[in-house]
Structure 1
Amino acid sequence: MAHFNQNFLDSIERDLPSHLSMEDFIAYSNKPLRLSIRVNTLKISSDNFIDLMTQKGWHFDPIPWCKDGFWVTLNQDIQLGNTIEHLQGLFYIQEASSMLPPTALFDVITNEGLQNASCDNIVLDMASAPGSKTTQIAALMHNQGLLVANEYSASRVKVLHANVARMGVANCALTHFDARVFGEYMFETFDSILLDAPCSGEGTIRKDPDALKNWDNNDAKGIVETQKALIESAFLALKVGGSLVYSTCALSRQENQDVCHHLRTLYGEAVEFVSLTELFPQAEKACTEEGFLHVWPQLYDSEGFFVAKIRKHVSVERQLPEPRKQKNFPFTPAKTKQVEELAQYFKESFSINLPEDAQVMVRDLEFWLFPTPVMPLIGKMRFQRIGIKLADALKKGYKVRHEAVLALSSPTRFELNDEQAKDFLMGRDISLQERVKPQGEVIVSYANNPLGVAKHLGNKLKNNLPRDLVKDKIALYQ
């Protein structure tokens, strides 16, 4: 049962549209959320995933604003986060409403924004962790272009990277800043920006009944100043003609509509509010007079959410002079011979073709694959991590890295059954029934998707899963 205080209820009553009732708001806020997931199309199509999981007792209901999002019901009680399919990145457990902002950013339903999947586009996710929207954006970009994923909290950057790697994202560069610096450091750099702003979290009460037990409007007022500073920074970092999506899981006007109007007050006709009325069927039920989506829990039986799309029409004045270039970048481009040897190793060992326009960089004995559009940005700000680590150089040859296997497609894999896949993810070696000629390094897979690398010794597969990914418990369907 959700715990409301009277101040919160009074605030909701002021902002709730006249055609919606407080009784319905309270009733839906006390209902448990429907379980929802998003299929990771970087690894598997939604149709193939549905075919795979229907056999395991899953039932799917499509989420109207995300073509790869589904409400799911299961035949048995099972921890989805411990399933093989989740650990190998075939799906992300994501609340349905949180799938709205990336959909709005790319106008997926109308196809207006599919140009954003080009090889040159640069997208910024200003507040990324844990990575649900970041990995959704990467899938919509088809791993093309560059996705800069920023997270202010140091403890959450590690979680963000783990999810990016698990989902096979290859076009991402991670940063760790207060996002207010982007307007200064990356002035008019990005084609598209998502600002899922820190907020009071009023819309999350169905997930956490105690979320609003001590709600105080004065706390929200402090958050609003941060939100205004962040949206100003985002607008400065946006290219002319680019699109910015501002979203929160708050319900009040002051954290939502008022923040967007603040931006228009500052920059006038440079700011266009883009209507989201036709973003998906029945979107108009949630639309404000400006065309923003203000999703109340009772509208779609979901969490509360707010989404606004803003387009930048003309350039605006830079607030500060361009910062000095960052020095001491530790990577250098790999030599042509090194790239050729590395490409040969991936081709011969795993049937993986490195991208023809691959930007292979080297640091000490490490080889990395950088998204090409990141190169002009080197020196403008400090990156925590760029692209994916391909391999380490050995005295003779190379040693492939786990994240490269998850992100780069290979048609040749050693397929495991349920029990073998479980054992592999628990760090165990896999015994083979027949002794055959050793094959060296092989990619092991489940449901025709990679799990990692093992060394084929003839009578067993020696487990090479990174120790930090080894699980104590794996959930199998009965």
Structure 2
Amino acid sequence: MLNLPTSFKEKFEKLLGKDEAAKMFAAINQNTKKAYRVNPLKAIQQVSYDQDEAVPDLDNAYYGEVNGQDPEWVSGTVYSQDPAAMFPAKIAKVKPGEKVLDLCAAPGGKSTALGQALKGEGVLVANEISGTRVKALRENIERWGISNALITNNDSETLAKNFPDFFDKIVVDAPCSGEGMFRKNPDAINYWSPEYILTCQSRQKEILQQAVKMLKPGGKLIYSTCTFSPEEDEEIVAWLVEQEGFKVLPIPEITSTKISHGHPEWTNSNLVELKETLRFWPQDNVGEGQFAAILQKSGEPAMVNEKKVKKNMKNKKKQHNKLALTVDERKLVGEVLDQFDLPIALKQWSKQALVRQDHVFIPALTDESKLRGLKIVNNGLELGLLKKKRLEPSHQLAEVLGQVSQTRVVDLAQREDYLSYLHGETVKVDTNLKGFVLVSYQDLIFSFGKVTGQKILKNFYPKGLRILKKN
């Protein structure tokens, strides 16, 4: 039984009434709701998990538990995520070609869904201020096969200087008091206090003030938290309406009766539009706690300045020429890529690929004015590293190649071989293939390998992803 703070219980008894609050407290002491999404970008989407119970109002999302050593996870075929946390990316309704920012992106659940919706067109900027958490963000975006993401490690103020009025949509899953995580992470109870809620509210406003600067006139802001407190939810939305001129938009695609709506009466403003926001309570049995809203920035999108566009294109071309592959480098890259069936993201690689410090990549963003001064973790699709007149293909490339059917694949027959490979070991294989190959288990591609003349599969699974022990 979790020891919920007395002030927390008193607060929600007052807001919800004693009967509904009792249901909430009882639900917080029950097991967490776990779920996963299936990746529609991958060529093979069959999974071994039960799909009898779908998450309401979401595509390709089901209740169930994922093991981090399962081939479904390792190959990026599934993403384990709290079901309620899946909704902010859903309601963003991202379209191919849009410019999208996930401002507080780690560990990557929302970024993978946003990038997936772009279908390789447009750009996703996935930002995380934590240097530790941004590593997990990169791993998850790569595993999911997103090829057009710029991953950055900056504070919101730094980003705002580079991207004024730039994005069509911005998702801010703001740092919060974490009340919705009490049953998932009981440690969150220890640092909860009424004062902490106000600290979080202040931080949320600071982040949103920078997000407002980066959103185009007429652009959409998706705001979410994993907390129940009106101070961080309805009051923040009311502040955006009253101070920043935003308009709250309805979310008609969410129809489940298990999902609640916002409470205007919990704010001083009493804005009727707050009823359009979404609330996820643990007693409604969808997932953990979540709040979500869509708001639209005032104003009309600016007219395109043709002269400025031509100037930018000219500058991009100069930068591209400076980093473009030489004839010899293009040949080395082609010797690897020409052996595989290429998805759309790679069809024009010879024209798009750049090289910097021997890293060959197809950038998601080429405008140097947007990149200057940023801590960039990854820009687009890393193809590989040039070494001694050869290209060593990247792990990200393997995950992207998994989007289409491949023939140059070694499928590991035994689970023991699969776990050995994840552990970083070489494996004896029965194949006539030689050189670089894609490696799969249960037909799910998850890595590159290299077959020697002795039919030994040399290990190219990244050291940072390897398992410490074989279960």
TM bin, normalised by shorter chain, reads 0.7 to 0.9
Q: 2:358 aligns with which of 326, 343, 365?
A: 365
Query: Which whole-Å CA distance do the structure 2 matches of 1:449 and 1:89 have between them?
Result: 9
- Residue 295 in 1 paired to residue 280 in 2? yes
Does the 8 Å CA contact 2:84/2:286 hold for their aligned counterparts?
A: no
Give the structure 2 partner of residue 71 of structure 1. 63
Alignment of 1:306-455 (within 5 A): 306-314=291-299, 332-335=322-325, 337=327, 340-341=330-331, 344-352=334-342, 354-356=346-348, 359-372=352-365, 377-379=370-372, 381-408=374-401, 409=403, 411-412=406-407, 413-419=409-415, 420-433=417-430, 436=432, 439-455=434-450
- Residue 32 in 1 paired to residue 31 in 2? yes
Structure 2 portions without partners, runs of 5+: 264-271, 303-318
- Residue 104 in 1 paired to residue 101 in 2? no
Query: Which whole-Å CA distance do the structure 1 matches of 2:380 and 2:283 have between them?
Result: 41
Query: Which whole-Å CA distance do the structure 1 matches of 2:128 and 2:429 have between them?
Result: 44
Give the structure 1 partner of residue 266 of structure 2. none
Query: Which whole-Å CA distance do the structure 2 matches of 1:217 and 1:96 have between them?
Result: 27
- Residue 275 in 1 paired to residue 250 in 2? yes
Q: Would you say how many aligned residue pairs link Structure 1 and Structure 2? A: 438
Q: Deviation at 1:199?
A: 0.3
AA aligned to 2:171 is L
Query: Which whole-Å CA distance do the structure 1 matches of 2:301 and 2:109 have between them?
Result: 31
Q: Deviation at 1:20?
A: 6.9
Q: Give me the TM-score of the superposition, normalised by structure 1.
A: 0.83
Structure 1 window deviating more from structure 2 (93-102 vs 460-469): it is 460-469
Give the structure 2 partner of residue 467 of structure 1. 463
Does the 8 Å CA contact 2:428/2:456 hold for their aligned counterparts?
A: yes
Map Cα deviations across residues 249-303 of structure 1 (whole Å, 9 max, x no partner).
Answer: 11011101111111222233xx110112542333763354520002221123421
Does the 8 Å CA contact 1:267/1:316 hold for their aligned counterparts?
A: no
Give the structure 2 partner of residue 200 of structure 1. 177
Q: 2:167 aligns with which of 183, 190, 196?
A: 190
Does the 8 Å CA contact 2:365/2:380 hold for their aligned counterparts?
A: no
Does the 8 Å CA contact 2:332/2:389 hold for their aligned counterparts?
A: no
Query: Which whole-Å CA distance do the structure 1 matches of 2:451 and 2:259 have between them?
Result: 57
Query: Which whole-Å CA distance do the structure 2 matches of 1:251 and 1:42 have between them?
Result: 34
Q: 2:188 aligns with which of 203, 206, 211?
A: 211
Query: Which whole-Å CA distance do the structure 1 matches of 2:462 and 2:191 have between them?
Result: 42
Q: Give me the TM-score of the superposition, normalised by structure 2.
A: 0.85
Q: 1:456 aligns with which of 442, 451, 456?
A: 451
Q: Deviation at 1:203?
A: 0.8
Query: Which whole-Å CA distance do the structure 2 matches of 1:60 and 1:384 have between them?
Result: 38
AA aligned to 2:80 is I
Give the structure 2 partner of residue 323 of structure 1. none
Does the 8 Å CA contact 1:125/1:148 hold for their aligned counterparts?
A: yes
Map Cα deviations across residues 220-265 of structure 1 (whole Å, 9 max, x no partner).
Answer: 1111111112122212211122111000011011101111111222
- Aligned-residue sequence identity (percent) comes to 27
AA aligned to 1:460 is I
Does the 8 Å CA contact 2:422/2:466 hold for their aligned counterparts?
A: yes
Cα distance change of structure 1 residues 339 and 66 upon mapping to structure 2, 3 Å threshold: farther
AA aligned to 2:467 is K
Query: Which whole-Å CA distance do the structure 1 matches of 2:13 and 2:256 have between them?
Result: 27
Does the 8 Å CA contact 1:359/1:372 hold for their aligned counterparts?
A: no
SS of residue in 2 equivalent to 1:371: coil
Give the structure 2 partner of residue 321 of structure 1. none
SS of residue in 2 equivalent to 1:154: coil
AA aligned to 1:91 is V
Cα distance change of structure 1 residues 125 and 180 upon mapping to structure 2, 3 Å threshold: same
Q: Deviation at 1:473?
A: 3.3
Query: Which whole-Å CA distance do the structure 1 matches of 2:128 and 2:113 have between them?
Result: 16
Map Cα deviations across residues 164-198 of structure 1 (whole Å, 9 max, x no partner).
Answer: 22222211111112223444431110011000000
Query: Which whole-Å CA distance do the structure 2 matches of 1:445 and 1:316 have between them?
Result: 46
Q: Deviation at 1:417?
A: 2.1
AA aligned to 1:394 is K
Query: Which whole-Å CA distance do the structure 2 matches of 1:252 and 1:316 have between them?
Result: 34
Query: Which whole-Å CA distance do the structure 1 matches of 2:180 and 2:212 have between them?
Result: 25
AA aligned to 2:96 is A
Query: Which whole-Å CA distance do the structure 1 matches of 2:187 and 2:321 have between them?
Result: 47
Query: Which whole-Å CA distance do the structure 2 matches of 1:256 and 1:331 have between them?
Result: 48
